[in-house]
């Protein structure tokens, strides 16, 4: 038996305890013994044990001081006195003023986009600002445009959630009824045309939602983005800013990006430079791939609350599978009136075969392969766990029992090996 390690930390006001859980199958239990503390904007309940598993990188911040106990093996654990939390709180206060004005004048609250290179804490700042807003009684909309390391649904998608309560410490924001669009790759660079199309679509749908939900409208939107900020990546960001008609852009830790946006954005867009937290942990390519895998596993099997997915066979002949994007031809070879880029958002039929093994398939709400498929949000995902060429069937892992709905399935580049 391994000995359970026990550590106690006394935190002064305005400081945070940072720790990481690295070893495989390790579990660390955190408990606030006295005082008040929060985790990325969610208040911790005194005396309640919270569990963190392999891969967790955590900061517990206190405004007033507290004592925290950690049980289990942490890779790193230290108390930091230098944090940007006061700056982030000021940003929240400024957004809150705009929400108050929006409520009084019956207009739209602040639409805020968070940008910056990889590993500067964009997702974490989104979570903090959403949590602070919802703790003030607001109902903000969270938009995640990060197709690689997003927080909504599975990787390879963009999506939005109405945030009605603070993120759960262990499970994040409640994923009930998210609005999700299919992209199928882990970087916008894999198909910029498609990425921009679905970003514009999501922005349209959110504008429509805000017209019918006044509370959400005055609470505003927080948009998390990808860490791809140079060249075409920059254009993708400015396209998103335009599509969502953002009011505020928070630039984390990149002066060049800040200056470019200051130069290129219309004057009414407030571009604000923010420092990153010294606690944000850089992740390697392998860690990112593991994080993506973990998100897919969570989608099918749950995290703290377990889910029980179904597994069943489907005949090739009963499936309508498409991938988005035909090989691009030069303009001169295209039919009259079509641009070469149009091919990138075309649906191409995919036949059942071994290549589908381990792939994720997005279940669209669209029944037919017409123009509306890319504009339709997703019902969910299934994963192909086996292909039987003799019987001409696929075995799929699905959150819903059989049969698969008679709708279009969109092939994702993402793979998942189900060895649960």
Smallest gap, in angstroms, from Cβ of residue 282 to ligand ATP? 8
Question: By C-beta, is 56 or 361 nearer to ligand ATP?
Answer: 56
Question: By C-beta, is 94 or 118 nearer to ligand ATP?
Answer: 118
Smallest gap, in angstroms, from Cβ of residue 56 to ligand ATP? 7
Question: By C-beta, is 143 or 383 nearer to ligand ATP?
Answer: 143
Question: By C-beta, is 277 or 345 nearer to ligand ATP?
Answer: 277
Q: Is 144 annotated as a binding residue?
A: no
Smallest gap, in angstroms, from Cβ of residue 117 to ligand ATP? 7
Q: Which residues bind ligand ATP (CB under 6 A)?
A: 18, 57, 59, 118-124, 146, 149, 227, 277, 279-281
Smallest gap, in angstroms, from Cβ of residue 363 to ligand ATP? 26
Q: Is 123 annotated as a binding residue?
A: yes
Q: Is 16 annotated as a binding residue?
A: yes
Smallest gap, in angstroms, from Cβ of residue 338 to ligand ATP? 35
Q: Is 328 annotated as a binding residue?
A: no
Question: By C-beta, is 65 or 275 nearer to ligand ATP?
Answer: 275
Question: By C-beta, is 289 or 340 nearer to ligand ATP?
Answer: 289
Q: Is 119 annotated as a binding residue?
A: yes
Question: By C-beta, is 277 or 398 nearer to ligand ATP?
Answer: 277
Q: Name the residue with the smallest CB distance to ligand ATP.
A: 279
The Cα–Cα gap between 324 and 191 comes to: 9
Smallest gap, in angstroms, from Cβ of residue 57 to ligand ATP? 4
Smallest gap, in angstroms, from Cβ of residue 255 to ligand ATP? 16
Spatial CB neighbours of 210, under 8 Å, sequence gap ≥ 6: 108, 141, 216, 217
Q: Is 120 annotated as a binding residue?
A: yes
Rg of the chain's alpha carbons, rounded to an integer?
22
Question: By C-beta, is 203 or 280 nearer to ligand ATP?
Answer: 280
Q: Is 124 annotated as a binding residue?
A: yes
Question: By C-beta, is 122 or 320 nearer to ligand ATP?
Answer: 122
The Cα–Cα gap between 21 and 70 comes to: 11
Smallest gap, in angstroms, from Cβ of residue 1 to ligand ATP? 30
Q: Is 187 annotated as a binding residue?
A: no
Please, is 49 exposed, middle or buried when counting C-beta atoms within 10 Å of its C-beta (0-12, 13-18, 19+)? exposed
Smallest gap, in angstroms, from Cβ of residue 155 to ligand ATP? 11
The Cα–Cα gap between 294 and 297 comes to: 5
Q: What is the 3-state secondary structure (H, E, C) of the chain?
A: CCCCCEEEEEECCCEEEEEECCCCCCEEEEEEEEECCEECCEECCCCCCEEEECCCEEEEEECCCEEEEEECCCCEEEEECCCCHHHHHHHHHHHHHHHHHHHHHCCCCCEEEEECCCCCCHHHHHHHHHHHHHHCCCCCEEEECCCCCCCCCCCCEEEEEECCCCCECCCECCCCCCEEEECCCCCHHHCHHHHHHHHHHHHHHHHHHHHHCHHHHHHCEEEECCCCCCCHHHHHHHHHHHHCCCCEEEEECCHHHHHHHHHHCCCCCEEEEECCCCCCCCCCHHHHHHHHHHHHHHHHHECCCECCCEEEEEEHHHCCEEEECCCCCCHHHCCCCCCHHHHHHCEEEECCCHHHCCEEEEEECCCCCCCCCCCCCEEEEEEEEEEECCCCEEEEEECCCCCCCCCCEEEEEEECCCCC
Which residues are known binding-site members for ATP?
Answer: 16, 57, 119-124
- Residues making up the annotated binding site are 16, 57, 119-124
């Amino acid at each position: 038996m391994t000995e359970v390690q026990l550590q106690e930390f006394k935190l002064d006001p305005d400081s945070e305890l940072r720790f990481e859980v690295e070893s495989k199958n390790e579990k660390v239990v955190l408990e606030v013994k006295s005082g008040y503390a929060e985790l990325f904007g969610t208040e911790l309940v005194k005396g309640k044990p919270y569990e963190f598993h392999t891969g967790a990188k955590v900061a517990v911040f206190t405004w007033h001081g507290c004592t925290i106990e950690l049980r289990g093996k942490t890779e790193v654990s230290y108390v930091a006195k230098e944090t940007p939390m006061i700056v982030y709180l000021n940003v929240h206060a400024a957004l809150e003023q705009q929400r108050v004005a929006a409520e009084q004048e019956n207009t739209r609250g602040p639409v805020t986009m968070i940008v910056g290179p990889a590993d500067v804490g964009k997702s974490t700042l989104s979570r903090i600002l959403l949590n602070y807003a919802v703790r003030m009684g607001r109902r903000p909309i969270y938009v995640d445009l990060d197709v690689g390391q997003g927080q909504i649904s599975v990787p390879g998608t963009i999506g939005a959630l109405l945030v009605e309560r603070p993120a759960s410490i262990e499970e994040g924001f409640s994923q009930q009824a998210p609005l999700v669009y299919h992209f199928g790759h882990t970087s916008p660079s894999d198909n910029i045309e498609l990425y921009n199309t679905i970003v514009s679509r999501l922005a349209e749908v959110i504008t429509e939602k805000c017209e019918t939900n006044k509370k959400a409208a005055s609470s505003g939107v927080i948009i998390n983005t990808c860490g791809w900020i140079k060249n075409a990546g920059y254009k993708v960001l400015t396209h998103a800013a335009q599509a969502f008609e953002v009011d505020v852009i928070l630039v984390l830790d990149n002066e060049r990006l800040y200056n470019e946006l200051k130069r290129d954005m219309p004057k009414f867009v407030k571009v604000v430079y923010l420092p990153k937290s010294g606690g944000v942990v850089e992740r390697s390519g392998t860690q990112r791939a593991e994080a993506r895998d973990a998100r897919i596993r969570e989608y099918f099997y749950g995290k703290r609350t377990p889910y029980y997915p179904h597994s069943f066979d489907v005949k090739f002949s009963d499936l309508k599978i498409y991938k988005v994007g035909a090989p691009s031809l030069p303009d001169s070879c295209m039919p009259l009136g079509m641009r070469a880029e149009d091919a990138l958002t075309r649906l191409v039929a995919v036949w059942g075969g071994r290549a589908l093994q381990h792939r994720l398939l997005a279940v669209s709400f669209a029944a037919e392969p017409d123009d509306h498929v890319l504009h339709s949000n997703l019902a969910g995902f299934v994963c192909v766990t086996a292909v039987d060429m003799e019987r001409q069937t696929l075995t799929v892992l699905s959150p819903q029992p059989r049969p698969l709905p008679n709708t279009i399935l969109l092939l994702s580049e993402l793979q998942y090996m189900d060895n649960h």
